[in-house]
Amino acid sequence: MKRALPAIWLVVLLTIPLWLQDQYILHVLITTGIFIIAAMSLNLLLGYTGQLSLGHVAFFGIGAYTSALTTLGFDIELFGFRVVHQPWPAIAGLFVGMLVAGLSGYVIGRLSFKVRGAYFVIVTISFAEVTRLVALNWVELTQGPLALTNIPPYTLGFPGLGNYTLWNKAAYYYLVLALGLVAYVVISRLVGSRIGRAMIALKENETLATSVGIDVTRYLVLAAVLSAAMAGGAGSLYAHYLKIIDPDIFLFIYTVMMVIMVITGGKGTLAGPIVGGVIFGFLPVILRPFAAPAVQWILYGALMIVIVFMLPQGIIPALQHAIANWSGPTRDRSGALLAGSAKPGEGQ
Amino acid sequence: MTPTLGAAGDVVLSVAHVAVRFGGLVALSDLNFKVFDGEIVGLIGPNGAGKTTAFNVFTGFLQPAAGEVRYRNTLLNGLKPHDIAALGLVRTFQRTSIFACNTVFENVLIGLHRRGRSRLWDTLLALPREKVAEAELANAAREILRVVGLEGRAQDTAGTLPYGEQRLLGMALALAAKPSMLLLDEPVSGMNASESAKVMRLVQTIRASGVTILLVEHDMPMVMQVSDRIVVLNYGRIIAEGSPAVIQKDPDVIRAYLGEGKKRA
């Protein structure tokens, strides 16, 4: 039963575009999926190495802008030199976006070696704000508040089948699902491995981790790079799906959204960001018929407070705990039964 | 120069003219001593004598203001704790130090970090190499748990263990890091007699496997029984050094511990 569950989920997820008629719901599924990938990447840093990055949206935005600019091309003047970039295929943008986001993750990771805790949080917030200001003011490159528009969709080349451009929503849904699965598998393999154990050790007790020979900086930087590259990939998906991005993509509220998804779902669990992402991705859809936007935000905040207050560890750990408690007594009972049957034997 | 009792071998740890100051406070001044291969050396002294500070200097958690520490001829000054652990000089901590949220088994697996050799790509692509490496680590972890006597606790959450077993797990973690020299910071503090006896046997087993041991401990019967040689610190300097029998009779040591009393007629 436990093995069948992921397969059932996969079948449900794979067939959604076939039976779902409402294009708006499909759109919400796609954007939610993109934000779940971003939340999963944040979870790698926050949930497993214990570093709270409140500038995570910077990596998402860097991925989005880099991918869009790689695809659209640019012609700018930099330090007196003219830099011209001819448009590349959109799918190359995805990889360049991940690469550049990963590099900025490296810089932030190295910085975090010097500053931890609250200072790291401040560094990351500042970093996100700087990237937003650059996107807003470097008009020649980013069009500033006018936004980058007409970002083309991805074109996937299948050997022997020709090229396929992702024009419709269903195709994007499958792409997001596929990349989401890749991200999930990458994170699950990582955290179950020697590398993941080093990260968890660093979160729980840094001094002890170094005393057994774990190079803390190395694993922190590794986590930051992987997390940033993943967030950059999600940003690229976002840019090419919406076909337009503006500097508002770097707003603090998006980071908060990712953090909320991770914390409500359960940080440091594989399914946490997915559960949290689905809840907060679909909440506006569910509330829309009943409540005005302002009321929606109030309910949104109230729900978050309730969840964090009632289940401080998050939904997934609370569920695991409940299941353990529920199956625990039966195990004890069988144990007691065994002990009971052993006693007469002892007497003889 | 340095008296070697009960052990003859190469110098493993050599501490020369080490000084540590915290602001105006002198925590260690001109510390000089050597530990030889295969020895169990007890480092004792009253509270605040500088024993834990010395441990922190040897393992890279503190940098000395002066002097040098060498481990098997490698200068340790300026090295990071994980580099020093990689050289085989591994410590335990005075306070309980375990990964409380993980299981006992996972704790030891974390400790085995240095013995693992899987790379990022092996892990991400789940190569057969990765599975072999993980299986080897799991076997090594079971072996270490057997040595310290925690095999029955493997799947328990470390934070739920009773105090004595948490301390044993701390030693298991250090052993997992494959030390050639182990620094034990008060391994039996707060333990009852039977737990202490268990730790003492474990210390001897570890030494028998070829690991040199430097031990900080307040439990005098244990130190006297287990150590080949004892170094006594007071106010950041060494006041005596020698075999347990010599130390027990040393007037400076008695004065440091008991103060200067009136001589009885």
Alpha carbon A318 to chain centroid, angstroms: 21
Query: Would you say residue A34 has pLDDT above 90?
Result: yes
Q: From edge to edge, which strands make up the β-sheet containing B74-75?
A: B25-36, B11-22, B66-71, B74-75
**At A81, which CATH number?**
1.10.3470
Kindly report the nearest CA distance between residue B97 and chain A, in angstroms.
7
- A125 domain residue, yes or no: yes
- pLDDT at position A199: 92
| Cross-chain Cβ contact A189/B126 below 8 Å | yes
The pLDDT of residue B1: 42
What pLDDT digit, counting tens, does each position of A222-244 carry? 999 999 999 999 999 999 999 89
List the domain range (segments joined by +) for residue A145: 23-337
In a domain, A197, yes or no: yes
The two structure tokens encoding residue B58: 């040897």
Best residue in A184, A197, A211 to probe B by mutation, most B CBs within 10 Å? A211
Are B110 and A198 a contacting pair at CB < 8 A?
yes
The answer to whether residue A91 sits within a structural domain is yes
How close is the nearest chain A Cα to the Cα of B3, in Å? 30
pLDDT reading at A285 higher than 80: yes
Q: Work out whether the CA dihedral A290, A295, A301, A307 comes out positive or negative.
A: negative
Contacts of B61 in chain A (CB under 8 A): 207
- Looking at residue A95, its pLDDT comes to 93
Contact: B106, A197; criterion CB under 8 Å: yes
Of A164-173, B12-21, B72-81, B145-154, minimum mean pLDDT range = A164-173
For B250, the token pair is 């040393």
Residue A311 lies in a domain: yes
Q: Could you write out the DSSP letters of every residue in A92-120? A: HHHHHHHHHHHHHHHHHHHHHHH--THHH
DSSP tag of A152: P
Q: Is residue A225 part of a domain?
A: yes
- One-letter amino acid at A62 equals I
ipTM over 0.90: no
Residue A336 pLDDT greater than 70, yes or no: no
A327 domain residue, yes or no = yes
Nearest Cα to Cα of residue A101 among A61, A73, A71: A61
State residue A198's pLDDT score.
Answer: 92
* pLDDT number for residue A339: 37
Give the Cα separation of A108 and A40 in Å (integer).
Answer: 18
pLDDT in tens, B85-99: 999 999 998 877 899
Calpha distance A239→A236 (Å, rounded): 5
Q: Decide if A3 is inside a domain.
A: no
- The total domain count for chain A is 1
As a whole number of angstroms, the distance between CA A36 and CA A240 comes to 17
A265 and A36 in contact (C-beta within 8 Å)?
no
User: To probe the interface with A, which of B57, B87, B103, B124 has the most A CB atoms within 10 Å?
Assistant: B124
Tokens 């975090």 belong to A112
Walk me through the domains of chain B, giving residue ranges and CATH numbers: 1-88+179-258 (3.40.50.300), 98-177 (no CATH)
pLDDT beyond 70 at A331: no
pLDDT of residue B263: 56
Tens-digit pLDDT profile for residues A241-274: 998 999 988 988 889 889 989 998 888 899 899 9
Task: Tell me whether residue A122 is in a domain.
Answer: yes
For the stretch A107-157, pLDDT in tens is 988 877 677 778 888 888 999 999 999 999 888 888 888 888 888 888 777
Instruction: Give me the residue from A186, A212, A216 closest to B124, CB to CB.
Output: A186
CB contact under 8 A, B99 and A200: yes
pLDDT tens per residue, range A153-177: 887 777 677 777 777 888 889 999 9
Dist. CA A146–CA A149, nearest whole Å: 8
CA distance A219 to A199: 6
- Tell how far CA A278 is from the center of its chain: 12
Is A213–B90 a contact, with Cβ atoms under 8 angstroms apart?
yes
Contact A211 B100 (CB under 8 A): no
**pLDDT of res. B105:** 92
